[in-house]
């Protein structure tokens, strides 16, 4: 078990395996959760001794969904948006909304790892 945690929020089940492999490559524990439980999961994950937590939010329709995310979530730790379609304008909107970055579903595993690190 690793000290660092990668929380995936509202991810479709078919992407869990891909992110489990990614988490293993960067030596993070993978914790799947949903938006309603994310704050409590983040609190538990952030209390790991000397560990860190990164929360990756799956946003199918980012412009519609970012308004539903709790502002409380963005007060600590790192947050990355994972979107099926991503462009510069959308990435700027996500960052101004509290995300630290964004990853496209179509990005290579190498780019996804680099973005998370």
pTM above 0.75, yes or no: yes
- What is the DSSP-derived secondary structure letter of residue 91? H
Decide: helix, strand or coil at residue 95.
helix
Answer whether residue 48 is part of any domain. yes
Answer whether residue 111 is part of any domain. yes
Answer whether residue 78 is part of any domain. no
- What HEC string does 29-83 produce? EEEEECCCCHHHHHHHHHCCCCCCEEEEEECCCHHHHHHHCCHHHHHCCEEEEEE
Q: What's the pLDDT at 50?
A: 58
What are the φ/ψ torsions at residue 105 (nearest 5 degrees)?
A: -55, -30
Range of the domain at 29: 9-67+84-116
Q: What is the pLDDT of residues 57-103, one digit of tens each?
A: 999 999 999 888 878 777 777 899 999 989 999 999 999 999 999 99
Total domain count, the chain? 1
What are the φ/ψ torsions at residue 50 (nearest 5 degrees)?
A: 55, 20
């Amino acid at each position: 078990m690793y000290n660092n945690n990668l929380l995936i929020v509202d991810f479709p089940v078919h992407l869990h395996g891909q992110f489990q492999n990614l988490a293993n490559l960067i030596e993070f524990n993978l914790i799947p959760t949903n938006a309603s439980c994310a704050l409590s999961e983040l609190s538990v994950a952030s209390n790991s001794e000397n560990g860190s937590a990164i929360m990756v939010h799956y946003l199918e329709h980012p412009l519609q969904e970012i308004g539903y995310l709790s502002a409380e979530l963005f007060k600590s730790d790192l947050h990355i948006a994972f979107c099926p379609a991503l462009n510069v304008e959308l990435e700027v909107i996500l960052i101004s909304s509290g995300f630290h970055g964004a990853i496209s579903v179509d990005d290579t595993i190498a780019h996804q790892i680099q973005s998370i690190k």
